[in-house]
Amino acid sequence: MTGCFADIDLTPSDLELARRRAAAGAGYIDLTSSNPTQQGLLFPPDILQTAAADYWTSRRYAPDPHGLPAARAAITRYYATRTPPLILSDDAVFITAGTSEAYSLLFALLADPGDNLLAPNVTYPLFDYLAALRQVELRSYRLDEERGWQIDGPSLLEQVDARTRAVLLVSPHNPTGAGPTPP
Ligand SMILES: Cc1ncc(COP(=O)(O)O)c(C=O)c1O
């Protein structure tokens, strides 16, 4: 393989081999499956038909790289009703196909190859791969289990240097579930 993963050993690990053996047997439930239609959750046909009917009337569409204007306006309305309210202009909202894509765009926007970003440890494993794709170094700062997985400030500051471009904060946090205390 060539490219940024050329040096990575992609041989299935013992864990993955065990998973494949389990998946071949009966009663295996894949809790990582994120496609609802593969789990028997099908979209209601009347909603799909109504959405499609609008398309057949004009057969035109006007894509916007920021996301559909009506969807962005709905998002700003939603944030305005939260407690405390967050007042945004529609221009401040960019829609991506999930947070993974948003992270990837942000990593590229904020950091050049060789720069670094700080991410919590423990963490969501995707960040390592997104950083590798952008040739950005991902550094870990510690979360303190004794204090409900809050950020360990000194550990965060130890990682910062002149090439640090951003600190990733995940709230509510995955996998610990730590988040803001309710008002
Ligand atoms: C912290 C974090 N980032 C990203 C993702 C992936 O989200 P998406 O499916 O929206 O790309 C998850 C999913 O659990 C997550 O916990």
**Which numbered atom of ligand 1 lies nearest the CA of 102?**
11
What is the 8-class DSSP label of residue 141?
E
From the CB of 100, is ligand 1 less than 6 Å away? Answer: yes
**pLDDT at residue number 161:** 97
Residue 54: the pLDDT is 80
Cα–Cα distance, 76 to 96 (Å, whole number): 15
* 113-144 per-position pLDDT tens digit: 999 999 999 988 899 989 999 999 999 999 99
Residue 68: its pLDDT value, please? Answer: 92
pLDDT bucket at 81, cuts 50 / 70 / 90: very high
Cα–Cα dist 123/146, whole Å: 17
Helix (H) or strand (E) holding 159, with range, is helix 153-159
Name residue 76's amino acid: T
Domains, the chain, ordered by start: 112-183 (3.40.640.10)
Best residue among 94, 117, 124 to mutate for probing ligand 1, ranked by most atoms within 8 Å of CB: 124
What pLDDT, on a 0 to 100 scale, did the predictor assign at position 182? 60
pLDDT value at position 111?
A: 97
For tokens 């081999």, what's the residue?
A: 17
* pLDDT one-digit tens code per residue, 26-66: 999 888 888 999 888 999 999 999 989 988 888 988 889 99
> Which of 32, 95, 100 has the most ligand 1 atoms within 8 A of CB, as the residue to mutate?
100
| Residue-wise burial string across 133-156, b where 16 or more C-beta atoms lie within 10 A, e elsewhere | ebebbbbbbbbeeeeebebbeebb
- Say if residues 167 and 117 touch (Cβ distance below 8 Å): yes
Please state, for a pLDDT cut of 70, what percent of the chain lies above it: 97
125 three-state secondary structure:
coil
**pLDDT band at 183, cuts 50/70/90?**
low
The CA–CA distances, whole Å, from 65 to 107, 151, 163, 178 equal 18, 35, 30, 33
User: What is the structure's pLDDT at 55?
Assistant: 85
**By percentage, how much of the chain surpasses pLDDT 90?**
74
At residue 71, does pLDDT exceed 60? yes
**Global confidence as pTM:** 0.75
The answer to whether 95 touches 67, Cβ cutoff 8 Å, is yes
Q: Which residues pair with 118 in a beta bridge?
A: 139, 167
